[in-house]
């Protein structure tokens, strides 16, 4: 019998039991992430744009992979004298929460901060460390103030005189969120795409808020905008096709596509079990 992937009401208790059963064997399982998992389940369940359980499965798999971060775990163990002591250990775990890019993009041309000046007409001026300047419109689109201006500057370079004299606020646009947002231009466009105007450009830390991070991730995967480069969930999941591996192209080419696909298949099984229709015995 063909599987029914149409989104239905998901039983939270069954989902949690199946999720724990599956994850407890995974070395990256993080019990502290359970509240974030349930928050995300509710967001996806209530998102009217999501119509297919496979979309939820793939979003969960992507979240797990992209938010894997060094985490400190605390445990107890007897020492050589037989005394119980508390120890701490760092492990790479699924956080299921918005994270920052490790190293903040060090070595990349978006690593150094830029200066952002809020203009009276609601637009913004960007001054990069190399002195190149750009004007950002309220719709998130931008233009260079000089013909030869190129977005991005060599990491660690000496600041240009224009940068030093600029009275804008200094902001950094390294990766943040569930599906990490980088470059000031993407923060500007991303904010507009989710109805926040230039908020994310003026305050990039907003991307670490779960509500904002979810809006960016879901909007991109559902519409193909921003990081997804025109690729949408509906391209990979149809009545005749389920392609968790190729779906990785929405976020990062084919990087770790096999491992993420395995995670997605496990989440699919969990979601199907948690959304099975109850058959009346009366």
Question: What tens digit of pLDDT does each residue of 44-92 get?
Answer: 999 999 999 999 999 999 999 999 987 776 767 788 888 887 767 778 8
Q: What pLDDT score does 170 carry? A: 98
Are both 110 and 155 inside the same structural domain? yes
Q: What is the mean pLDDT of the chain?
A: 93
Q: Which domain holds residue 177?
A: 103-208
The answer on pLDDT for 168 being more than 50 is yes
Distance between CA atoms of residues 167 and 112, nearest Å: 17
Are both 256 and 122 inside the same structural domain? no
Tell which residue, 220, 192, 191, 219, has the closest CA to residue 205.
191
Distance between CA atoms of residues 215 and 195, nearest Å: 10
Taking the model in full, what pTM does it have? 0.89
Q: Is residue 22 part of a domain?
A: yes
Is residue 142 helix, strand or coil? strand
The answer on pLDDT for 235 being more than 80 is yes
Are both 196 and 156 inside the same structural domain? yes
Domain end (from 208, 239, 255): 208
The answer on pLDDT for 247 being more than 50 is yes
- Look at the chain and report how many structural domains it folds into: 2
Number of CB atoms found within 10 A of residue 233's CB = 24
Are both 108 and 203 inside the same structural domain? yes
Are both 83 and 220 inside the same structural domain? yes
Are both 195 and 238 inside the same structural domain? no
Q: Is residue 219 part of a domain?
A: yes
Are both 202 and 266 inside the same structural domain? no
Q: Is residue 108 part of a domain?
A: yes
Q: Is residue 4 part of a domain?
A: no
The answer on pLDDT for 16 being more than 50 is yes
Report the DSSP pairing between strands 124-127 and 114-118.
antiparallel
Q: Give the confidence band of 280 by pLDDT, cuts at 50, 70, 90.
A: very low
CA-CA-CA-CA torsion for 50, 52, 58, 59, nearest 10 degrees?
20
Per residue in 110-165, pLDDT (tens digit) is 999 999 999 999 999 999 999 999 999 999 999 999 999 999 999 999 999 999 99
Residue 78, C-beta contacts closer than 8 angstroms, at least 6 positions apart: 84, 85
């Amino acid at each position: 019998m063909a599987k029914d992937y149409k989104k239905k009401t998901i039983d939270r208790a069954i989902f949690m039991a199946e999720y724990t059963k599956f994850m407890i064997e995974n070395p990256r399982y993080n019990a502290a992430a359970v509240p974030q998992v349930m928050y995300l389940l509710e967001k996806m369940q209530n998102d009217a744009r999501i119509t297919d359980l496979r979309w939820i499965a793939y979003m969960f798999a992507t979240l797990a992979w992209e938010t894997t971060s060094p985490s400190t775990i605390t445990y107890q163990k007897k020492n050589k004298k037989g005394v119980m002591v508390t120890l701490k250990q760092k492990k790479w775990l699924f956080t299921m929460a918005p994270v920052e890019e490790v190293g903040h993009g060090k070595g990349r041309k978006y690593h150094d901060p830029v200066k952002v000046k809020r203009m009276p007409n609601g637009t913004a001026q960007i001054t990069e460390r190399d002195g190149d300047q750009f004007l950002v419109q309220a719709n998130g689109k931008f233009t260079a103030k000089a013909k030869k201006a190129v977005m991005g500057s060599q990491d660690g370079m000496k600041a240009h005189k224009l940068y030093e004299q600029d009275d804008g606020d200094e902001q950094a646009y390294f990766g943040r969120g569930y599906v990490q947002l980088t470059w000031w231009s993407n923060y500007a466009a991303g904010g507009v795409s989710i109805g926040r105007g230039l908020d994310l450009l003026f305050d990039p830390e907003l991307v670490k808020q779960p509500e904002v991070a979810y809006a960016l991730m879901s909007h991109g995967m559902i519409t193909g905008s921003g990081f997804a480069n025109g690729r949408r969930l509906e391209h990979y999941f149809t009545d005749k096709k389920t392609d968790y591996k190729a779906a990785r192209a929405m976020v990062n080419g084919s990087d770790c596509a096999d491992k993420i696909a395995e995670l997605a298949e496990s989440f699919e099984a969990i979601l199907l079990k948690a959304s099975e229709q109850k058959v009346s015995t009366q």
